[in-house]
Amino acid sequence: MSASNSGKARDNILSRLRSAEPGKLVGAPDIASYYRDRPQPKAEESRRERFIRNATSWRAEIVEASESDWPGKLVQVIEHKRLGKLLVGRNTTIGWTLSALLPPEQLYWYERDLAEIKSDLFDHVDAGISTTLGGVAETGSLLLWPTPAEPRTLSLIPPVHIALLFEDQIVETLHEAMMQNRWSERMPTNLLMITGPSKTADIQRMLVYGAHGPKELVIVLVSRQASPNGESA
Amino acid sequence: MNAPVVIERPGPATPKSVGAAPADTHEKTHRPEDFKLRSHESVNDPNLRSSFRGAMDFLIERRAVHFSDFVAFDQLRKLGEQTRQHALNHLPDLLTQLEAKLTELGVHVHWAETPEDANRIFLDIAKAHDARMMVKGKSMVSEEIELNHVMADHGIDCLETDMGEYILQLDGDRPSHIIMPAIHKTKQDVAEIFHEHIAGAPLTDDVNELIGIGRKALREKFGASKIGVSGVNFMVAETGTIALVENEGNGRLCTSVPDVHIAITGLEKVIEKLEHLIPLYALLPKSATGQAVTTYFNLITGPRRAGERDGPREMHLILLDNGRTQAYREERFRATLQCIRCGACMNHCPVYTRVGGLSYGTTYPGPIGSIISPHLVGLKSTRDLPTASSLCGACGEVCPVGIPIPEMLMKLREAGRHSVSQSMTPPTQALVGQGEVRLLAEVLAWKGWRLLYSHALLYRLFAWFASRLRFLTPAWQGGWTQSRAPLKPAPKSFRDRLKERNHSPR
């Protein structure tokens, strides 16, 4: 490869940058105090309500569930949308749950290298079902931290993406999620913030869902505090 | 008024939709030297005018929803500006930090001084993998180096996958806006383009169906391509993370499915900390399309790790200079590099809205293009661009990172017309094309003016003749008389009138 050329280019570029006129000094931006000082979200709306309001405004469908009934609600979504093949990660919350509830031929386990299963993923799978790292209330977004069990294309290639989100993992802002969990010290190969299904307005500014990614995004929102009758609060 | 120039498109005769014809002017040259000619054609093209006006009004309104509270906007903007300035202040150190981090992650980092360097790097990688095809996410820097054309010359098919860019590539056209590349196309145009170029595509102007056709055609390509190409919105020095902002998902596909991912970017896009992404991502989509967030905010940190089942096995980052170090050299031009490519300045520019993006003949159109292009391709060929502004200031007001665009335009006007020694504020080193925009007639006119205005006797003599020979002034006075009455000296000079008044009895 052009390593030596690139090396010479590197030296030239860096020496030009280093010999530049010094700029007026600006300190590092203080992002934490920006978030601390700005107006806080309205108290009359709960974080959960805010998440739902924002997520649905981006055309995500929300299915509210409790810790006990989410598997049933998830199966209802699958049946209601008449989803056939489901792409699922082995040894995940979703994998264990669905293998107990659905016929084995309906589950397509993401357990091989993408190169071997590309055509299945692009053409023969109806939905990808994934867990999430959390949600962001301010924008109604999901946070995904793909793993070997749930690779990044699980939430990307199938036409429908169903995501499982636990209510207590919703934070207010992306900044909060980033700082609380010290992302900068342990970035995965891919980290995603996803807000609604994929979309485009490239033809005459008309909004169309399902550009290259999923056409539909369903969020199964699991409440942690189940009320006595088993319904979410 | 000139009639719009229509060039017939070769190929099968498909029925032209209403309003499609003038859009074909793109088959002419695309050079900044032709700015005046092309903008003249554009302002006389009612279809182009109305499509740009409509699109810009739409984008202006959508942005305004998010920034209705000026104080809140200004606070966020100051944070964004500071983030970019802080990064630029430490640019060489951040680049080496980024390089070290990426190398540690297993990413190949390449440095390119020119577009030729960058294209050679692409070719070398393609050769090493025997790749005949690349799928590409939206990248303005790849447009800057004319990647598609150069790859095509070497038998490599570089396929655009952003819907707008894909439409333009099929039609052999160019983007006219950095965020909405195909805004100059109507859905009828797209219908014809798809019908003509995609096998089996029915002729339909239903936008949902059209997107479906594009989606299907491109999905086959993502799976078949060995190399995926992307741009970069931001890159983080401390973690070696590349951030991509998009709605369609093609950027994710290009960087997840092929075995090799090549990212190309201008070297100014680096920021120090992961946390610094926050204000910039908060500003970018709101300023660009008036959305609070995009569908995907995709953070990529190195190639596939052991045990992972997807993602590229090999990853490259190409850092392009191409004139950016010139903009960096002096503090007064450095803010040019703060840009996060949102396009708000073009959306709000009265000139851009009227002449459209293609008139500029450069990769980056509009106000930001007018201040960055002179560094990329020199002041001479871009001579008209810094003057394509009424200096109304809208671009500077809406810029989410506080670039003083109007001031930069004026500095570039000066740099074009004055050599280093003639400059009022001389640069330490001449810019490429410094002083080359000078016109002999203009220079002579100013020399004459200076002579007259610094010698009292000469001035009086001139005034005496001018007022008496005023009937000789020509009716045609260049650009001035295009839309104004000709200038004519007054029958009596101000001095004479004042003298008369003082002497005449009241």
- Tokens 């969990």 correspond to A181
Give yes or no for residue B7 having a pLDDT over 50: no
Q: What is the pLDDT of residue A57?
A: 97
Looking at the complex, report in whole angstroms how far the Cα of residue B246 sits from the nearest Cα belonging to chain A: 9
Q: Is the Cβ pair B296, A196 closer than 8 Å?
A: no
Q: pLDDT band at B121, cuts 50/70/90?
A: very high
What value does the mean pLDDT of chain B take?
92
Cross-chain CB nearest to B295 (options A28, A187, A199): A199
Measured in whole angstroms, the distance separating CA B267 from the mean position of its chain's CA atoms is 16
Number of Cβ within a 10 Å radius of residue A123 = 11
Higher pLDDT, B483 or B61: B61
Predicted confidence (pLDDT) per residue in B332-390, tens digit: 999 999 999 999 999 999 999 999 999 999 999 999 999 999 999 999 999 999 999 99
Looking at the complex, report in whole angstroms how far the Cα of residue B324 sits from the nearest Cα belonging to chain A: 10
Q: What is the pLDDT of residue B12?
A: 37
- Residues in CB range of B153: below 8 A, 6 or more apart: none
User: Is B287 within 8 Å of B179 (Cβ atoms)?
Assistant: no
Enclosing H/E stretch for B89:
helix B70-89
Give yes or no for residue B421 having a pLDDT over 80: yes
Backbone angles phi, psi at A199, to 5 degrees: -155, 165
Looking at the complex, report in whole angstroms how far the Cα of residue B34 sits from the nearest Cα belonging to chain A: 27
Q: What is the mean pLDDT of residues B422-428?
A: 82
Predicted confidence (pLDDT) per residue in A203-231, tens digit: 998 999 999 999 999 999 999 864 545 44
Predicted confidence (pLDDT) per residue in A151-209, tens digit: 999 999 999 999 999 999 999 999 999 999 999 999 999 999 999 999 999 999 899 99
User: Is B214 within 8 Å of B159 (Cβ atoms)?
Assistant: no
Q: What is the pLDDT of residue B480?
A: 87
In chain A, what residues touch B300 (CB-CB under 8 Å)? 189-190
Cross-chain CB nearest to A198 (options B54, B164, B249): B249
Q: Is the Cβ pair B112, A139 closer than 8 Å?
A: no
Lowest mean pLDDT among B83-87, B166-170, B190-194, B474-478: B474-478
Q: pLDDT band at B22, cuts 50/70/90?
A: very low
Q: Is the Cβ pair B274, A183 closer than 8 Å?
A: yes
Chain B interface mutation, best of A203, A207, A215, A219, highest count of B Cβ atoms under 10 Å: A203
A window 65-104, beta carbon within 8 A of B: none
Lowest mean pLDDT among A35-44, A147-156, B115-124, B367-376: A35-44
Predicted confidence (pLDDT) per residue in A90-131, tens digit: 999 999 999 999 999 999 999 999 999 999 999 999 999 999
Q: What is the pLDDT of residue B21?
A: 37
CB contacts < 8 Å between A and B, how many? 261
Looking at the complex, report in whole angstroms how far the Cα of residue A128 sits from the nearest Cα belonging to chain B: 15
Lowest mean pLDDT among A63-77, B10-24, B254-268: B10-24
Q: What is the pLDDT of residue B502?
A: 86
User: To the nearest whole percent, how much of chain B has pLDDT over 90?
Assistant: 81
In this prediction the pTM is 0.91
In chain B, what residues touch A17 (CB-CB under 8 Å)? 91-92, 95, 325, 328
Cα torsion through B131, B135, B136, B137, rounded to 10: -150
3-state secondary structure string across A47-78: HHHHHHHHHHHCCEEEEEEECCCHHHHHHHHH
Q: Is the Cβ pair A190, B222 closer than 8 Å?
A: no
Give yes or no for residue B217 having a pLDDT over 60: yes
What are the beta bridge partners of residue B110? B318
Looking at the complex, report in whole angstroms how far the Cα of residue A121 sits from the nearest Cα belonging to chain B: 10
Q: How many helices (H) and strands (E) does chain A have?
A: 7, 12
Predicted confidence (pLDDT) per residue in B258-306, tens digit: 999 999 999 999 999 999 999 999 999 999 999 999 999 999 999 999 9
Q: What is the mean pLDDT of residues B161-169?
A: 96
Q: What is the pLDDT of residue B179?
A: 87
Chain B interface mutation, best of A117, A190, A209, highest count of B Cβ atoms under 10 Å: A190
The residue in chain A having the minimum alpha-carbon distance to the alpha carbon of residue B216 is A212
Q: pLDDT band at B28, cuts 50/70/90?
A: low
In chain B, what residues touch A114 (CB-CB under 8 Å)? 257, 309-310
Cross-chain CB nearest to B113 (options A12, A24, A141): A12
Lowest mean pLDDT among B37-51, B115-129, B223-237, B286-300: B37-51
Does residue A178 sit at the B interface (CB-CB below 8 Å)?
A: yes
Which ipTM value was assigned to this complex?
0.95
Cα torsion through A198, B122, B314, B223, rounded to 10: 40
Q: What is the pLDDT of residue A100?
A: 96
Pairing relationship of beta strands B227-230 and B133-136 according to DSSP bridges: parallel
Q: What is the pLDDT of residue B4?
A: 38
Q: What is the pLDDT of residue A24?
A: 84
Backbone angles phi, psi at A117, to 5 degrees: -120, 15
Q: Is the Cβ pair A31, B79 closer than 8 Å?
A: yes
Predicted confidence (pLDDT) per residue in B196-212, tens digit: 999 999 999 999 999 99
Give yes or no for residue B315 having a pLDDT over 90: yes
Q: Is the Cβ pair A18, B117 closer than 8 Å?
A: no
Predicted confidence (pLDDT) per residue in B452-482, tens digit: 999 999 999 999 999 999 999 999 988 889 8
Cα–Cα distances in angstroms (integers) from residue B444 to residues B304, B379, B449, B450, B455, in the given order? 64, 21, 8, 10, 17
Q: What is the pLDDT of residue B506?
A: 57
Q: What is the pLDDT of residue A4?
A: 59
Give yes or no for residue B75 having a pLDDT over 90: yes
Q: What is the pLDDT of residue B397?
A: 97
Does residue A27 sit at the B interface (CB-CB below 8 Å)?
A: yes
Q: Is the Cβ pair A211, B211 closer than 8 Å?
A: yes
Taking the CA atoms of A6, A8, A14 and A17 in sequence, report the sign of the dihedral they define: negative
User: Is B263 within 8 Å of B317 (Cβ atoms)?
Assistant: yes
Q: What is the pLDDT of residue A3?
A: 54
Q: What is the pLDDT of residue B23?
A: 40
- Residues in CB range of B495: below 8 A, 6 or more apart: B460, B463
Give yes or no for residue B154 having a pLDDT over 80: yes
User: To the nearest whole percent, how much of chain B has pLDDT over 70?
Assistant: 94
Q: What is the pLDDT of residue A233?
A: 38
Pairing relationship of beta strands B260-266 and B314-320 according to DSSP bridges: parallel
